[in-house]
Structures are given as structure tokens and as C-alpha cells.
Amino acid sequence: MQRGDSEDSAIDRLGINKLGDILGTVERSINENSRLILTISSRLGHNELISKLFIGSYIVVLDFSTNNEVLLRVSKVESTINPPLSIRGTNSTYIKVISDFVISRIKNNGSYRYTTLLIIPVNGSLVIYPSGDVIREFIGLVGNLMFGKTMINGYDIPIMLNESVLSKGLLITGQPGCGKSFFIKKLIKGLHSIGDYENIIILDRTGEYPKGLIEDGIDVSALVPLDLMKLNRPIDIDELKKYIVDKLRILGFRSKRARITMSMSKNDGIEFNVDFQRKDFGKLSIMPLSIRFRWFIERAINYLDPEIKYVITTLMMENEKALNTAQSFISVIKDPELLNTIGRSPINKAIDLAYSLKDTGYFDALVNVGGDNIDISIFSPIRILKNRIAVIDLHELPDSLMNIYETILIEDITKWFMGSKDNRVIMIVDNAEGLMSNKDLLNSLINSMRIGRTHGVFFIIATRLFSRKLYREFGNLVIMRMNSSLKLSNCPEGMNLLNNEFILLSPWLNINCIKGSIA
């Protein structure tokens, strides 16, 4: 087959060079179960051609007659020193490329339609080493939200997906220290700049989010549970301010470089506003929280020991005031008549629970303001949702309290959005393995996710434990470095990941998966 100046002029007319560098021409193509074996002739030297056609590189094959294009991934390259006479032409180099089909695109009325239909290249089709922009178009990396970057064909390509990808949820899994929280902070920064979500809610078990976000110039409101009742007395407002200063230190801030003011309202309770000296920092609003015991115990009942649940249910029917505070609960369950009615084992378990909750100091705190004792537990945690970036700081709660409290908070926040329309909300649950160790807590999380999806509340969940039950609820998966091997079908990317590297699986991609790193 002879090709010369006529081919060059055709290339110029069609603007093929915009696709990338032309490597050669298809002389023969064979399809074996979506694996294409191409014999390619090229004017390039053998070494130059091999430098482009390495294993894992992508090539585009263009059919001149239809303008249809096929993206292929190279899996093997073989030299063809003496090609058959039937395909021998004027080009000096011949090579055989074994490649896996990725996707085709068909040009129609000036636009492209992508399809998984394999279009077999005809003889004479051009083989092109695509540019970075063409690779992005083929793979589907043309959105407005950055997930990271990837190296393809020697190009540093940003992994950009549309923010609507999160409507299918995002599960991030990897061992501690691999970069899950760092990845989430980058996503939050991107979502904040896009501005399409009215609320981004972070349930923070480590206390690392406020500082990281504020240093990125993002205004943050933090709901901070305080163990004020460890003092067993009402706390003065000046003591409360000292608590807040101490919390700033624990969160990584230096209070000497910040100005703290306080405000108070009937609806939102006490709020501390922190302005930092650095102009590139965001502002921080801290809402101190005390947990209302009655609300907690009634909402937590489904996650407690059955015998404790029996005690609480009995009291709910027979003594309405018994559950008002932890102390009233203790006083009532010590009643000998109740012991005779219910039995020693349930009562002892209920007493142990009541004391363990009371001793944490997180319930029913009183703050002395101008001579009046104000119960700050009456102010709902939901008040944090008036702010766009809301962090619920859970990191100092004991695990026995944290897991259940986080679960019922997720339930209540999700249900609160059921009362409004056209929501666009992101709920981030980091270090979720605490909720996965208990089947009831995991089922509640999954149920909240399902309810949330129908009301515009979409979840990003990060955990060091991989759960197939949880994974089935998500459309997008990010896998980071893991202790155990996880096999992914139809994913050619290697699973030997370093810190801050990941594998992304998403229906928004035109390929099965992509390997990247946090940008």
C-alpha cells in the first residue's frame, strides 16, 4: 500500500495534527475479544516509535473515511522486521501493537458521541499519540472539580470531574496516614470555590479540619461539645471563654494571634467569633455545645443493650421526668421498687451507663450569664447549619459516646433537610470505621444516605476498613494505600500505592479506573 503526498494533504485538510503526534498508519487490524492487534507502518525510527508505544500508554486510531476515533491502551509491542509483501510500503518501520479497547467516539454535526461500541480500524487509519487535552476528552476529565492529577503518556493531567459526580456519593478507603483527610480537604476547597452547595457539613473525629480549612482562606463554623459539667456546678461565662481559648490551642491555633468576641441570642445560644491577624486566613465561629440528656437517651435507645433499652422504655411510660437529666435517671433507677419490677441485671447495666455518661461532663451544662444560669443544652446542634461550612468537632468525646452521638446527629441532620426543597448538601463522615464496627450503627448510616440522596444530601465517607455492604451504596470509590490487598475487576492499574496516591472508580469516567495523586 503506497502513501505519499496525498496523505499529507489530507491530514492538513482535516486538522489531524490537533489530535496529537502522528505515529503511523494501520496496515492490518485483528480483533480478539476487544483486544486489537494492529500492524503499524511508520516513518519514525524504531527507537522513537517504541518510546511512544510503551505498555500502558494510550493511542488514538482515526478512520479517514468516517472520522470516527478509537482510544486504545497499549498492552504489548512486538517488532516486525520483515513485514509481509501484502503490507510492505514506503515507510521504513513496521511494528505490531497489542492493545485493549477503551472507548470510541463518533463525530456527528460537529460534536462527539462517546460509545463503548468497538469500531474496528480499517487499513489506512492513522495512529496518533494523543495530546493531553485529547486524552482528557476521551477519558472524561473535563469537569470543574479537581480530584488530583495523573500521569498519562508523559503528560501531567488534572483529574477534573463535574461536581455532580458527588450525587452518587464518594467512598474513600485506605489505611491511617495514607492521605484520606488531606484528599477530603482538597475536595472541600474545590467545592467551596465552585459554590454550588449551600452546606458542607464535616463530622470531625480528629479535630484537624478547622485549622486546615481556615488556613486555606475558608470561613468555618465549628460546633464544639464541651465537658463543662465535670466541675459539677454552673460555669461562669469568663470560664467558658477560657475553655474556648484552650480549644483553639488544641485545634492548633495561637490565641495571641486572634481576636475573640462573644455574642448571644435566644435562638442560637452563645457564639464566639474568632478573627485572625493574617488576612489570608478565613474566619472561625465556635458554638459551644452541651448535649441534652433526654434527647440523647431517647434517640440512642435503639443502639443500646436490650436490657438497658427495656429499663428506658419502662421509665418513658411510667415516669416522664426520670430522663430529664443524667442525675434524675440515676436517682430513679436506684429505686428498690423498680429493681423488684425489672430485675437486677438490667438495672445494673442502666446504672453503669448513666454514670459513664454523667462522668463525661458533656450533658446539660449550665452557664452563669449576668447572674442567671442558662442551660446551653437547650440549643439544638442543628443551629450550625445556618453556616455554609460547618464542622462538628467530635474528637474529644469518648468512643462509647462518640459513635452513638455521631449516628443520631447524622440522622437528625438528614431528616432536617427533608423539610426543604432543592437541597444541595455535602455530608462528610471521616474516620467512619467507628460506625462500621456495629451493624446497627452501619445500617443507620446507610439508611441516612438513602434518605439523603432523595433530598439532595450527598455523602462523602472515609474509612480505613473496606465494607462491600457500604460500597454498594456508592457510585464512586477512591482506594488509597491499604494493608490488605483489594482486587478490582477490569482495572489495569497497579494497587501498589504510596501515600497521597489513589485509584478512582467512577461512572463519570470513560475508563474503568484511573490512578492519580493528590494535587
Grid cell digits, residue 402 = 462518640
Q: What is the CATH number of domain 161-292+366-484+497-517?
A: 3.40.50
**Helical segments of 169-255, H only:** 180-194, 209-215, 237-250
Amino acid at 121: P
What's the pLDDT score for residue 90? 59
Q: Give the pTM.
A: 0.91
Grid cell digits, residue 424 = 444541595
Reference 133, options 190, 44, 48, 60; nearest CA is 60
Residues 194 and 145: beta-carbon distance below 8 Å: yes
What are the sequence ranges of the domains in the chain?
A: 13-139, 161-292+366-484+497-517, 293-360
Which strand (E) or helix (H) includes residue 104? strand 93-108
Count Cβ neighbours within 10 Å for each residue of 66-77 and write b for 16 or more, e otherwise. Answer: eebbbbbbbeeb
Lowest mean pLDDT among 253-262, 444-453, 459-468: 253-262
Of residues 255 and 342, more confidently modeled: 342
Q: pLDDT tens digit string along 384-442?
A: 998 999 999 999 999 889 999 999 999 999 999 998 888 999 999 999 999 998 999 99
Q: pLDDT tens digit string along 322-359?
A: 999 999 999 999 989 898 999 999 999 999 999 999 99
Task: Read off the pLDDT band of 8 (50, 70, 90).
Answer: very low
DSSP-derived secondary structure for 280-308: TS--EEEEEE-B-HHHHHHHHGGGS-HHH
- Angle, CA of 275, 371 and 247, to the nearest 5°: 30
Reference 213, options 503, 517, 481, 428; nearest CA is 428
What's the pLDDT score for residue 125? 94
